[in-house]
């Protein structure tokens, strides 16, 4: 008996607000360092670091001339229609979007600050403050974007990196680790009516459950990956590019066993008996890859209302590692690193239908993307193309919304459809090798 199918046939709740990769969007004022592979170890290391780490935004590098796997090769063209960053048209406030609120941190190099970390279903901003001090204290507020008034929530032990997964009208739910070493998953829930916190731990959930993989399903349950298999580097290790990072394109990838837990009964824990790479929900669909953090040749789509399944080869390219994954309506979105070449990195945001038909691939040197607020947000880090872009899955419109991107990773929690956030740098670095110290977050309502 397929427990997931039986459960999901009784859909009772609205779908999650978005399918952004939680591991890829860490809050907390950390220096923004793009990784080719974003595994659990990277997330845990970032969560355990209290002070902001000095660093720079990505400087894209070419291949290693000494490595015959990279040298003298040009970036291959993806299958299907292709967009490049230069194809984006400039977006305009008042035409493409309306600014609802903005928030500036003047110096994130000196200390952590306050960050927008999602928007509730009734339009309030979740403001994340910290972590601060030797005890990594974090506090949260709900902010009215029209007035800027802050409603600080009662103090509670939220862990050093609480990550919001559900921001409802009645309850806020955030996941974090049982310990700062990344052992076990726990959640904290805030009842907005009683203004009381509750702690949720599931004794029957495996201790290795990856908190940052957790996603809210359409049935109101929380779904989480438990590590099953972990890819390993080839003998002799990965080749190294000119930027000093390992070119681990064509990695073997990792898999997870899918589990789910109830947010109302901590004794209700289910092994869904499904092995996945990355996974995401949209309306009454569950979509998953065969592997994540590596090459992937299969995407599976399950209709949760009928139980029908189909799968297809996304034709991503032989070297393309899936780093983040999402689904919006009938479109599947994969963000991929596909290797280093003499003429730059090959990064892609691949968009396909849930039937496997290619819609477009946004390809460039130093970019990534994910689903948020019913849109595809693309962030580019290299040279004159650096900035934030928006791709509309329904219309195919591709626009550029900013000419820069912060050196620091800021909040990125759930957003209702039609909401969008991006960030821009503020100030000037004292040394060209240091990050620009400040950042402004922008919250907008998108005009489709």
Burial of 11 (C-beta count, 10 Å sphere; 0-12/13-18/19+): middle
Is 112 or 87 the better-scoring residue by pLDDT? 87
Across 24-33, 56-65, 207-216, the highest mean pLDDT is recorded for: 207-216
Give the model's pLDDT for residue 73: 56
Q: Which two tokens stand for residue 238?
A: 């990965």
Are 119 and 416 within 8 A, CB to CB? yes
The partner residues of 369 in beta bridges, in order of sequence, read 378
Mean pLDDT computed over 178-196? 85
> Can you say whether residue 256 is alpha, beta or left, with left for phi > 0 and alpha for psi between -120 and 50 degrees?
beta
pLDDT at 116: 96
pLDDT in tens, 89-125: 999 999 999 999 999 999 888 888 999 999 999 999 9
- Of the listed ranges 67-76, 129-138, 412-421, the least confidently predicted one is 67-76
Higher pLDDT, 174 or 107: 174
Token pair listed for 111 = 């200390």
Average pLDDT over residues 76-82: 95
So what's the pLDDT on residue 76? 92
User: In this predicted model, what pLDDT tens digit does every residue of 295-326 receive, in sequence order?
Assistant: 999 999 999 999 999 999 999 999 999 999 99
| Residue 78 dihedral angles phi and psi, to the nearest 5° | -70, 165
Structure tokens given for 403: 């000419």
C-alpha 220/C-alpha 119 separation (Å) is 18
Q: How far is CA 278 from CA 102, 131, 288, 323, in A?
A: 32, 28, 6, 9
Using an 8 Å Cβ cutoff, are 141 and 151 in contact? yes
First to last CA, the chain: 42
Question: What per-residue confidence (pLDDT) applies to 342?
Answer: 82
Inform me whether the pLDDT recorded for 351 exceeds 70.
yes
Across 429-446, average pLDDT: 90
Q: What is the mean pLDDT of the chain?
A: 84
Give pLDDT, residue 8.
47
CA-nearest of 326, 386, 387 to 60 is 386
pLDDT of 415 > 50? The answer is yes
pLDDT-wise least confident of 1-5, 222-226, 283-287, 332-336: 1-5
**Residues 59, 383: Cα–Cα separation, whole Å:** 8
Q: What is the structure's pLDDT at 4?
A: 55
Name residues whose C-beta falls within 8 Å of residue 100's C-beta, 6 or more positions apart in sequence: 145, 419, 443, 444, 445
Q: Is the dihedral of CA 290, 291, 296, 302 positive or negative?
A: positive
Mean pLDDT lowest among 114-128, 162-176, 308-322, 333-347: 333-347
Buried-state track 70-103, b at ≥16 Cβ within 10 A, e below 16: beeeebeebeeeebebeebeebeeeebbeebbeb
pLDDT tier for residue 72 given thresholds of 50, 70 and 90: very low
Among 37-46, 141-150, 379-388, 410-419, which stretch is predicted with the lowest mean pLDDT? 37-46
CA dihedral 309, 290, 261, 167 (to 10 degrees): -90
Residue reference for tokens 């030797």: 134
Q: Where does the pLDDT of residue 269 fall: very low under 50, low under 70, confident under 90, or very high at 90 and above?
A: very high
List of E strands, 365-437: 367-372, 375-380, 387-391, 398-400, 408-409, 419-426
Identify the CA nearest to 261 among candidates 299, 212, 225: 225
- CB burial class (10 A; 0-12, 13-18, 19+) of residue 395? exposed
Is 80 within 8 Å of 139 (Cβ atoms)? no
Domains of the chain (ranges; CATH) run 3-446 (2.130.10)
């Amino acid at each position: 008996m397929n427990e997931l199918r039986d459960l999901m046939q009784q859909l009772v709740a609205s779908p999650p607000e978005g399918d952004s990769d939680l591991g890829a969007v860490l809050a907390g004022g950390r220096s923004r360092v793009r990784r080719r592979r974003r595994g659990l170890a990277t997330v845990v290391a970032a969560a355990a670091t209290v002070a902001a780490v000095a660093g720079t935004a990505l400087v894209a590098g070419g291949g290693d001339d000494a490595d015959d796997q990279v040298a003298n090769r040009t970036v291959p063209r993806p299958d299907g229609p292709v967009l490049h960053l230069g194809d984006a048209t400039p977006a305009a406030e008042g035409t493409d979007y309306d600014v609802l609120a903005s928030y500036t941190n003047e110096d994130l190099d000196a200390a952590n600050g306050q960050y927008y970390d999602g928007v509730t279903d009734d339009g309030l901003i979740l403001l994340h403050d910290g972590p601060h001090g030797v005890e990594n204290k974090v506090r949260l507020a709900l902010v009215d974007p029209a007035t800027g008034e802050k409603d600080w929530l009662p103090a509670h032990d939220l862990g050093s990196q609480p990550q919001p997964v559900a921001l409802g009208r009645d309850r806020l739910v955030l996941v974090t680790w049982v310990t700062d070493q990344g052992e076990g998953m726990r959640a904290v829930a805030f009842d907005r009516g009683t203004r009381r916190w509750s702690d949720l731990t599931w004794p029957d959930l495996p201790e290795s459950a990856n908190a940052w993989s957790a996603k809210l399903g359409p049935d109101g349950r929380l779904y989480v990956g438990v590590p099953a298999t972990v890819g390993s580097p080839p003998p002799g290790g990965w080749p190294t590019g000119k930027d000093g990072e390992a070119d681990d394109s064509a990695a073997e990838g990792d898999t997870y066993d899918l589990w789910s837990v109830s947010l109302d009964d901590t004794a209700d824990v289910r092994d869904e008996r499904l092995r996945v790479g990355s996974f995401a929900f949209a309306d009454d669909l569950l979509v998953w890859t065969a592997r994540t953090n590596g090459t992937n040749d299969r995407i599976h789509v399950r209709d949760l209302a009928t139980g029908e399944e189909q799968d297809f080869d996304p034709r991503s390219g032989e070297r393309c590692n899936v780093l983040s994954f999402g689904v919006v309506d009938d479109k599947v979105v994969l963000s991929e690193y596909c290797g280093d070449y003499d003429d730059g990195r090959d990064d892609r945001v691949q968009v396909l239908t849930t039937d496997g038909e290619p819609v477009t691939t946004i390809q460039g040197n130093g970019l990534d993307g994910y689903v948020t607020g019913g849109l595809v947000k693309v962030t580019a880090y290299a040279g004159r193309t650096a900035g934030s872009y928006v791709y509309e899955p329904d219309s195919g419109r591709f626009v550029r919304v900013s000419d820069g991107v912060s050196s620091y990773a800021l909040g990125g929690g759930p957003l209702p459809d039609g909401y969008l956030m991006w960030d821009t740098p503020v100030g000037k670095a004292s040394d060209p090798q240091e990050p620009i110290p400040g950042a402004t977050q922008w919250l907008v309502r998108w005009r489709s």
